[in-house]
Amino acid sequence: MKHQTISNRREFFRNAAMAGAGLVMTPTLAMGSGDDTIPHLKNSSPALSTRKLGGLEVSGIGLGCMSMIAGTYNPTPPKDEMVAHLRKAVERGVTFFDTAEVYGPHGSEEVVGEGLEPFKGQIKIATKIGFEIQNGQRRGRNSNPESLKKAAEGCLKRLRIETIDLLYLHRWDPQVPIEDVAGAMKDLIAAGKAAHWGLSEVAPDTLRKAHAVLPVAALQSEYNMAERVVENQILDTCEELGVGFVPWGPTHRSFLTGRFNEYSRFDDLDRRSQLPFFSKEGFEQNMPFLRIVRKWSQAKGITMAQFSLAWLLAQKPFIVPIPGTTSPQHLAENIGALEVKFTAAELNEIRAEIENFKLLGVRAPETALVDQ
């Protein structure tokens, strides 16, 4: 990646470190002309506020663990650092951790298992199954009930637990009736292998069919200020059925944190290099959207990441974002979003501004009604 500007979150942490060393800088001195003013980083308390995903109670913000191994966005972080990072998250009050069999494959679950083993009974672990994995490579989708049960056994071993707190079907294989998937999950719960189950990226009708067989605790799909397709019937269906909602990509792959600018480009191994939103044309059209995020974060005295996460939290009381980070500083920043509050007038004004902006590379509303 090249030609990136310093975002307000990075500038904040630099100045926070200097302040800790006894160097006090005013916003005018700390920032160049035209840059963001320094936001106030909301601090978290050890006991974080909680939310419900169906019958599962978790911290209001979780930790996504996909990036703790090489793959989608980054090179391999040192394993010992990630183990320490997970344990620091627990110390900060995070009780909800999200991983998947396919991350690695298997590597993320192994790191999570080692990092969280000392906290059995104190935290909740979610993982996802539903892909065929052969010779260390992800193949096609596989929702066959026997394959799901076999996959769950592997997850339990890697996670070093006896029961998976929340077991998702990662992506539905339409060759297998969703009712059969629900039946397999019912068997796993009856056997004590899982406590709750969830789905990911399914349409409202599919969610209803599955829920009728076995109550679904949570639906996990992409949702953030830029990508709002789930506002077309999906969130309403979750609310009607009592299903929690876990948005992945809550800062739109770091776009909403102010990390990138119109000159940002990505390595071919970076997932963003394949997405129109992050193309040259996408950046040209989408970058002005950040003026909205920046304006409101400055007005609230918080970082852009905190504003983006707090906006999500304000949409529904059953939403639990899982921002992924390997940075202890960003972890503390993300947790701070739980303290941010909005008035009804503020939310209405924000809504009007973001809906008035046309973004390139986001999903059409009707795609929410089709299984992904």
So which residues are the catalytic ones? 103
State both tokens at 87: 């344990």
At 197, which helix (H) or strand (E)?
Answer: strand 197-200
Give the torsion through C-alpha atoms of 264, 270, 275, 279, to 10 deg. Answer: 20
Helix (H, G, I), strand (E, B) or coil at 142: coil
Using alpha carbons, select from 316, 183, 344, 323 the residue that is nearest to residue 245. Answer: 316
Helix (H, G, I), strand (E, B) or coil at 97: strand
Helix (H, G, I), strand (E, B) or coil at 45: coil
Contacts (Cβ under 8 Å, ≥6 apart) of 112? 65, 68, 86, 97, 99, 125, 159
CA gyration radius, the chain: 20
Cβ atoms 240, 219 nearer than 8 A: no
Using alpha carbons, select from 107, 50, 120 the residue that is nearest to residue 78. Answer: 107
What is the C-alpha end-to-end distance of the chain, expressed in Å? 30
**DSSP code per residue over 240-307:** HHT-EEEEESTTTTTGGGT---TT----TTSGGGG-GGGSHHHHHHHTTHHHHHHHHHHHHTS-HHHH
Contacts (Cβ under 8 Å, ≥6 apart) of 85? 68, 115, 326, 328, 331
Q: Which residues pair with 128 in a beta bridge?
A: 168
Q: How many CA atoms lie within 13 A of 26 on its CB side?
A: 2
